[in-house]
Amino acid sequence: MESYRELDPAEVRGVVFDIDDTVTRNGVLEPDAYAAMHLLAGAGLELVAVTGRPLGWTDVIARLWPVRVAVGENGAGWTWVDDTGTHEGYFCNEAERIEQATLLDTIRRKTTAAMPQVQITNDHRHRRCDLAFDVGESVSLPRAEIDALVALIEALGARSSVSTVHAHAVPGPWDKAEGVARALADVLGIDLGNELDRWVFVGDSGNDAAAFERFPKSVGVANVREHLDRLPVQPRYVTDGDRGRGFAELAGHLVGHRG
């Protein structure tokens, strides 16, 4: 991985960023990172938050943070605010989402029976399209148990995605990269495929794998080094600081260049 200083910010139009352990530390948004979001937005860059967190959370994030759109549940849906109000979009249509909910019910029953020690996340009631298990937020599940859980989810017919805090059962074809592409088309009329080089992606862990692979200007905050074994493709660039401090460093580089 190269230093983020090697990233050429000259033609960057926007920054897509993960939330947990990219702009937060111990689950709390870091002040440097929040200031950095305002710095970026104030310099005219488009900001997109993309997270495995619930769509109930992206409803709040889209309203409170200086982002154009907030994508939740690893790409399953998104929320945005414009002059006409607050809006939501989904990767799959309503009929598909009803079918997916049935699959998630089955997965929830069978995993609870097979691995009673594994808990559903405490943000579950805010979720609409996926099911997440706590692997590192309130509990610290051993790596072998996380792997067993992932194998069970996949055997039951869903895909899986693992972040620092949660293991997700993903019942549809979305991921962070596809979700961001759909959201940008839906909200800003952008064909991301035509301008991938103009967007920077910043993340830290396994559920960012698809985005690290898709975005040529991909950046890991320094703590990404702890998760390289879950990343088939490493981010191209890495920051010196970890978490929100790394995000703030990158923002300073992107904006400084524009001055």
Helix 243-258, helix 31-42: angle, nearest 10: 20
User: Site map for Mg ion, 43-82, x if CB under 5 A?
Assistant: ----------------------------------------
Q: Which of 7, 12, 17, 20 binds Mg ion (CB under 5 A)?
A: 20
DSSP-assigned letters across all residues of 86-114: EEEEESS-HHHHHHHHHHHHHHHHHHHHH
Q: Which of 7, 12, 18, 247 binds Mg ion (CB under 5 A)?
A: 18
Angle CA 229–235–239, to nearest 5: 105
Residues 94-153 within binding reach of Mg ion (CB under 5 A): none
User: Site map for Mg ion, 21-50, x if CB under 5 A?
Assistant: x-----------------------------
For the record, the structure tokens of 29 come out as: 């948004």
Query: In the complex, what is the shortest distance from the CB of residue 73 to Mg ion, in angstroms, rounded to a whole number?
Result: 14
Query: In the complex, what is the shortest distance from the CB of residue 77 to Mg ion, in angstroms, rounded to a whole number?
Result: 18
Which run of H or of E encompasses 24?
A: strand 24-25
Q: Return all residues near 79 (Cβ < 8 A) that are at least 6 apart.
A: 55, 58, 59, 61, 62, 63, 69, 70, 72, 86, 87, 88, 89
Of 10-18, 115-123, 145-153, 194-202: span binding Mg ion (CB under 5 A)? 10-18
Coil, helix or strand at residue 237: strand
Query: In the complex, what is the shortest distance from the CB of residue 79 to Mg ion, in angstroms, rounded to a whole number?
Result: 19
Cβ nearer to Mg ion, comparing 130 with 204 = 204
Of 68-76, 205-213, 229-237, 241-249: span binding Mg ion (CB under 5 A)? 205-213
Which CA distances in Å does 142 have to 13, 82, 192? 40, 43, 38
Q: Which of 46, 59, 178, 204 binds Mg ion (CB under 5 A)?
A: 204
Query: In the complex, what is the shortest distance from the CB of residue 203 to Mg ion, in angstroms, rounded to a whole number?
Result: 6
